[in-house]
């Protein structure tokens, strides 16, 4: 009975979360040109999309930026979180955390404008690299925010024990600390991708020389009305992401089955 | 010994702090003492604190950010709890993140289609006999969409702290005769507080400066600090005033951090 | 650590694939517009324009004819574009700002003066749209599209013909029925025009009075929104809207119950214009583009794609009569005479307009 209520709740929340997405996908098949008044099924917008090589190139750019920036932000942020974790003095620690969160609280226009000033000040040419740097920069704090609580939950005795058993720093880091923090690291990585894919204002300010991302294209089309080929594009993006996630899932369960022994051992130690 | 090592790994992070956080903040602080002609002035701060408009805006921002955080937490905690007990938990978590990869503006337009006077939701309400309602431009619609945007950011950290709770602790509580409600209150919730704290920070702080949804879904019935900053930076190009509000947001963030800090800290 | 390395490797692989894909798309794109006998191969032209504000077919034919490779970059507001051009760090050869922004950029020395000897198409333009106060003698700009600010109404809720003046919006029967465009200049401007004052006034008393009058409109206001106003009106969300003619055209395509009126008590006449910013790198290409866009057949094709009114009178002759004789899009000269273009008010007055508008938005309803 209770189990049933839980499942119902789960299903309900998922339905709500995917409702707008399904709405978008539904209208990508509209024979009409707008996101209302469905007038019949058509693949016309997909045809438009596939003949728009510029949009396809922008799509590739968007993913390159998202993946690379999320990766770098995850690496830098994870080790940053370790640094904060090892800071013993509480005052310093809180200051570091507050500094860390400044980019989360600052509205995008402020971040964008100040990064633009920063980049032009050091004479950097705007384009792929400046966008990548900016995306890494605003994704780092969310990674730290996701990783740090995991580190705080870690039992320090574990590390001490490992040291006592003769493990060196690298071994402690790679065998104990990082595996323990992994769920947080992974969350940080995915959140970084979210930040990157969603950002308009910062990218707008720091881009140039012909480099563009999907968000810029979508936002600047709003004045003319966003056409349904953008819906078609989002549908494809969504489906590809879904397939990737399913693949990842199978890969990781496959891997897990292989290393199950080790895992049970790890739990025993804890 | 390992302390120094970790510090070395963290060098890029501190470089980032210096270059992309501290430098811009100094710039921002500097700018907040400038008027539109580039002269030094304290007027921006004076305007902020003496005009009822900005104080009201600040109150609005804090109030709505608070409400959105509460709603998000109320929806997310049970969700994370249920998900953490599922067999393929990580897979479900991915499904929570996936919707955030679709562009926000597009999703907002989809919400217009769903909530509009002749939208899908109203068709449904008519169908079940309640009749069409004005949904758009209400505080409810605005908070619902804002919460929608933030839910994944809340579920994730809570979920991560829940999956790591040692099942033996829960079992022990049960063995000692605790009801499931008691176990939840005395064991599970306290142990997941770290995740809740992170979630609250990850939701409340950005919501303070929310602006797009206030216009698209809220029809500018609610004006927040985010809206004002947007306007000062982009429309009037009064970067001084915009920066002043930015600085105030940063201070508000620091206060939030202080209030939600982990009180029993210190390495355990 | 192993997982972290796996993640890094996986991403490297994905990025490599995406780079290949991007390169392929670039090849295809180039291939599409390639023509071996065109001059200027390998030179690029960077255009900075609003998103989807040009017929892509025109860009293709321009590249085919001239051989220039076009970079099309987009912005979503005049002010954002201004910041980018002012700050530098990137090159734009042609940009399309609105009229008040042309004036501001001109005053801030961000524009190159146009050499009229190199312009070949100015004679096609309607003289009524040249030599406007924001740019005397078109020293810096060539008009691209123009339009008006007016009222959109839905004939399901509003009797056709009953809206003729801005003051009609204040009628008690339209309670919670009006949508306004989120722009201080336009909404303050229409209020000023409704009282017979200039939309460029720098008279504090007039402005304060306008703010008072505007506040009394609040009970009728349903929402204050931006581009999404089109979607709302198309879905019958409100009976009336104060909006630009361009937006109106867009929404009327979606909903045949909508109509557009230019109130007879005046208001705003707006222009989007082609300019050559100081960041120009390829001047020759910039002139080639402006001249290409001035050709009547190209301007007509573009007007049909975008749906805005063209200032090119020779192009108008090529457009269907149903469009060019529609008073909503191409109003009579008598109406045009009552309209004003916006002047750049300078930072202090811009701020004043915005403060009043902000106060209006914060009015308790």
The neighbours of chain A, by the rule of 3 or more Cβ pairs under 8 Å, are B, C
Please check whether residues A22 and A138 belong to one and the same domain.
no
CATH number of the domain at B125, please. Answer: 1.10.3720.10
What is the tens place of the pLDDT at every residue in B192-216? 888 898 899 889 988 888 888 888 8
Encode pLDDT of A213-228 as tens digits. Answer: 998 888 888 777 788 8
Which secondary-structure segment (H or E) carries C244?
strand C240-244
Answer whether residue B75 is part of any domain: yes
Percentage of chain A exceeding pLDDT 70 = 93
For C318, the domain range is: 41-146+270-330
Which structure tokens are listed for B142?
A: 């605005």
Q: Give residue B219's region: left, alpha or beta (phi > 0; psi -120 to 50).
A: left
Q: Which long-range contacts (CB under 8 A, 24 or more apart) does C211-219 make?
A: C211/C356, C211/C359, C211/C360, C214/C187, C214/C188, C214/C356, C214/C360, C215/C360, C215/C363, C216/C170, C217/C169, C217/C170, C217/C178, C217/C191, C218/C360, C218/C363, C218/C365, C219/C175, C219/C176, C219/C365
Do the beta carbons of residue C308 and residue C302 sit within 8 Å?
no
Phi, psi of C223 (to 5 degrees): -160, 160
Interval A111-128 mean pLDDT: 87
Q: Helix (H, G, I), strand (E, B), or coil: what is residue A70?
A: helix
| Residue B39: pLDDT band with limits 50, 70, 90 | confident
Distance between CA atoms of A130 and A10, rounded to whole angstroms? 41
Q: Quote the pLDDT of residue A226.
A: 80
**Residue B266: predicted pLDDT:** 41
Q: How confident is the model at residue B71 (pLDDT cuts 50, 70, 90)?
A: very high
Q: Given this model, what pLDDT does residue C91 score?
A: 87
Chain B residues with CB inside 8 Å of C228's CB?
Answer: 108-109, 112, 215-216
The DSSP call for residue C309 is B
- Enter the DSSP assignment of B137: T
Q: Which of A83, A147, A241, A244 to mutate to test the interface with B (most CBs of B within 10 A)?
A: A83
- Tell me, yes or no, whether C352 and C255 share the same domain: yes
Please, which pLDDT band fits residue A26 given cuts at 50, 70 and 90? very high
Nearest to B98 among A88, A172, A242 (CB): A242
Chain A neighbors of C7, CB-CB under 8 A: 71, 74, 189
Q: Which residues of A touch B28 (CB under 8 A)?
A: 110, 114
| For range A5-31, the mean pLDDT | 93
Report the residue count for chain A: 270
Contacts of B199 by beta carbon, 8 Å cutoff, 6+ apart: B72, B73, B76, B153, B154, B155, B156, B157, B158
Share of chain B above pLDDT 70, in %: 95
| Same structural domain, A200 and A99 | yes
Does residue B63 belong to any structural domain of this protein?
yes
Residue B243 host element (H or E) = helix B239-259
CA distances from A222 to B126, C230, C236 (A): 31, 10, 19
Residues C99 and C131 in one domain: yes
Spatial distance between the Cα atoms of B139 and B143, rounded to a whole number of angstroms: 6
The CATH number linked to C212 is 3.40.190.10
> How many domains, chain C?
2
Same domain, A70 and A36: no
pLDDT value of residue C101: 93
B64 touching chain A per CB within 8 A:
no
For residue range B75-115, list pLDDT tens digits in order.
999 999 999 988 888 888 889 989 999 989 899 999 998 99
Would B225 be classed as within a structural domain?
A: yes
Burial class (CB in 10 A: 0-12, 13-18, 19+), C117: exposed
Residues C358 and C225 in one domain: yes
Count of domains forming chain A: 2
Burial C329-360 (b: 16+ CB within 10 A, else e): bbbeeebeeebbbbbbbebebbbbbbbbbbeb
Q: Is the pLDDT of residue B267 over 70?
A: no
DSSP C179: E
Q: Under 8 Å CB-to-CB from A270, ≥6 apart: which residues?
A: A155, A158, B166
Contact C186, C98 (CB under 8 A): no
Domains in chain B, number: 1
> How far apart, in whole angstroms, are the C-alpha atoms of residue C256 and residue C168?
22
C96 occurs within a structural domain: yes
Q: Residue C339 — φ and ψ, nearest 5°?
A: -90, 150
Collapsing DSSP to helix, strand or coil, C274 comes out as: strand
Structure confidence by residue, pLDDT tens digits, C73-126: 888 888 889 988 988 878 899 999 999 999 999 999 999 999 999 999 899 999
Query: With 70 as the cut, is the pLDDT of residue B2 above it?
Result: no
Q: Write out pLDDT tens, residues A123-172.
A: 888 889 999 999 999 999 999 988 988 888 888 888 888 888 888 888 88
ipTM for this model: 0.86
Which residues, given as ranges, of chain C have pLDDT below 50? Answer: none
Enclosing domain of residue A122: 52-263
Binding site annotation covers C100? yes
User: Quick one: pLDDT at residue C208?
Assistant: 94
Same domain, C256 and C354: yes
**C268: which 2 tokens?**
């705003």
Do both A106 and A238 map to the same domain? Answer: yes
Asked if residue A189 and residue A66 are part of one domain, the reply reads: yes
Q: Which of B20, B29, B179 to mutate to test the interface with A (most CBs of A within 10 A)?
A: B20
Write down the pTM of the prediction.
0.88
Return the closest-CA partner of residue B20 out of A135, A128, A145, C90. A135
B212 CB-near residues (< 8 Å, 6+ apart): B104, B105, B108
Residue C31 lies inside a defined structural domain of this protein: no
- B90, A249: Cβ pair inside 8 Å? yes
- pLDDT tens profile B225-251: 888 888 888 888 888 999 999 999 888
pLDDT digits (tens, 9 = 90+) for B110-162: 999 899 888 888 888 988 888 888 888 999 999 999 999 999 999 988 998 89
Domain that holds residue B131: 53-266
- CA dihedral (C227, C238, A227, C69) in degrees, to 10, reads -30
């Amino acid at each position: 009975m209770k189990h049933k209520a839980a499942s119902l709740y789960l299903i309900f929340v998922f339905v709500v979360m995917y409702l707008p997405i399904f709405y978008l996908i539904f209208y990508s098949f509209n024979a009409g040109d707008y996101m209302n008044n469905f007038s019949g099924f058509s693949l016309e917008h997909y045809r438009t999309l596939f003949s728009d090589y510029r949009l396809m190139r922008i799509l590739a750019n968007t993913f390159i930026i998202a993946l690379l920036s999320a990766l770098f932000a995850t690496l830098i942020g994870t080790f940053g979180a370790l640094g904060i974790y090892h800071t013993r003095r509480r005052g310093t620690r809180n200051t570091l955390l507050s500094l860390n969160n400044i980019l989360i609280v600052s509205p995008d226009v402020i971040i964008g404008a100040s990064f633009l000033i920063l980049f032009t000040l050091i004479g950097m040419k705007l384009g792929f690299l400046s966008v990548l740097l900016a995306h890494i920069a605003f994704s780092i704090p969310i990674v730290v925010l996701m990783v740090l609580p995991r580190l705080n939950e870690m039992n320090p005795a574990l590390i001490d024990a490992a040291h006592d058993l003769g493990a060196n720093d690298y071994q402690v880091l790679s065998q104990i600390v990082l595996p323990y923090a992994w769920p947080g690291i992974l969350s940080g990585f995915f959140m970084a991708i979210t930040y990157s894919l969603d950002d308009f204002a910062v990218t707008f300010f720091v881009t140039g020389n012909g480099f563009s991302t999907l968000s810029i294209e979508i936002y600047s089309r709003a004045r003319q009305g966003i056409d349904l080929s953008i819906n078609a594009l989002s549908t494809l993006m969504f489906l590809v992401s879904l397939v990737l996630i399913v693949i990842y899932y199978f890969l990781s369960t496959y891997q897990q089955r292989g290393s199950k022994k080790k895992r049970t051992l790890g739990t025993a130690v804890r | 010994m390992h302390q120094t090592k970790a510090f070395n790994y963290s060098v890029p992070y501190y470089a980032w702090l210096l270059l992309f956080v501290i430098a811009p903040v100094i710039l921002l602080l500097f700018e907040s003492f400038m008027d539109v002609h580039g002269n030094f002035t304290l007027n921006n701060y004076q305007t902020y604190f003496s005009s009822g408009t900005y104080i009201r805006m600040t109150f609005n921002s804090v109030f709505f950010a608070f409400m959105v955080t509460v709603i998000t937490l109320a929806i997310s905690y049970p969700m994370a709890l249920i998900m953490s007990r599922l067999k393929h938990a990580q897979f479900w978590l991915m499904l929570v993140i996936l919707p955030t990869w679709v562009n926000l503006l597009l999703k907002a337009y989809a919400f217009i289609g769903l909530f509009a006077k002749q939208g899908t939701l109203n068709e449904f309400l008519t169908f079940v006999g309640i009749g069409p309602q004005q949904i758009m431009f209400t505080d409810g619609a605005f908070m619902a969409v804002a919460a929608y945007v933030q839910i994944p950011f809340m579920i994730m950290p809570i979920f991560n702290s829940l999956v790591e709770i040692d099942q033996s602790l829960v079992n022990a509580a049960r063995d000692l005769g605790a009801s499931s409600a008691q176990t939840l209150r005395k064991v599970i919730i306290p142990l997941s507080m770290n995740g809740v704290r992170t979630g609250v920070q990850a939701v409340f702080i950005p919501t303070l400066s929310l602006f797009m949804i206030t216009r698209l879904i809220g029809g500018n019935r609610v004006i927040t600090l985010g809206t004002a900053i947007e306007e000062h930076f982009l429309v009037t190009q009064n970067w001084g005033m915009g920066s002043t509000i930015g600085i105030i947001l940063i201070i508000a963030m620091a206060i939030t951090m202080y209030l939600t800090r982990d009180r029993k800290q210190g390495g355990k | 650590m192993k997982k972290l390395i796996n993640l890094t490797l996986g991403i490297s692989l994905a990025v490599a694939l995406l780079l290949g894909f991007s390169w392929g798309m670039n090849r295809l794109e180039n291939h599409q517009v390639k023509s071996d006998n065109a001059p200027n191969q390998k030179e690029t032209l960077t255009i900075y324009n609003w998103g989807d504000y040009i017929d892509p077919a025109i860009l293709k034919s321009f590249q085919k004819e001239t051989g220039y490779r076009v970079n099309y970059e987009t912005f979503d507001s005049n002010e954002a574009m201004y910041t980018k051009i002012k700050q530098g760090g990137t090159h734009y050869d042609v940009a399309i700002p609105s009229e008040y922004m042309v004036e501001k950029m001109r005053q801030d020395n961000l524009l190159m003066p146009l050499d009229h000897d190199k312009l070949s198409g100015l004679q096609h333009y309607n003289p009524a749209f040249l030599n406007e106060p924001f740019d005397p003698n078109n020293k810096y700009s060539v008009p691209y599209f123009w339009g008006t600010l007016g009222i959109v109404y839905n004939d399901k809720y509003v009797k056709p013909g009953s809206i003729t003046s801005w003051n009609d919006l204040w009628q008690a029967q339209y309670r919670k029925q009006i949508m306004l465009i989120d722009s201080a200049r336009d909404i303050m401007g229409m209020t000023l025009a409704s009282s017979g004052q200039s939309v460029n006034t720098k008279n504090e008393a007039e402005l304060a009075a306008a703010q008072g009058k505007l506040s009394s409109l609040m009970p009728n206001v349903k929402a204050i929104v931006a581009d999404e106003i089109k979607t709302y009106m198309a879905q019958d969300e409100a009976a009336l809207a104060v909006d630009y003619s361009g937006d109106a055209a867009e929404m009327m395509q979606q909903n045949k119950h909508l109509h557009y009126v230019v109130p007879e008590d005046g208001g705003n006449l707006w222009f989007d214009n082609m300019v050559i910013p100081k960041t120009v790198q390829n001047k020759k290409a910039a002139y080639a583009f402006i001249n290409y866009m001035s050709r009547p057949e190209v301007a007509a094709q573009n007007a049909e794609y975008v749906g805005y009114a063209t200032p090119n009178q020779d192009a108008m002759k090529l457009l269907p009569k149903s469009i060019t004789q529609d008073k909503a899009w191409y109003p009579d000269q008598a109406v045009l005479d009552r309209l004003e273009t916006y002047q750049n008010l300078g930072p202090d007055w811009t701020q004043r307009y915005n403060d009043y508008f902000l106060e209006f938005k914060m009015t308790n309803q």
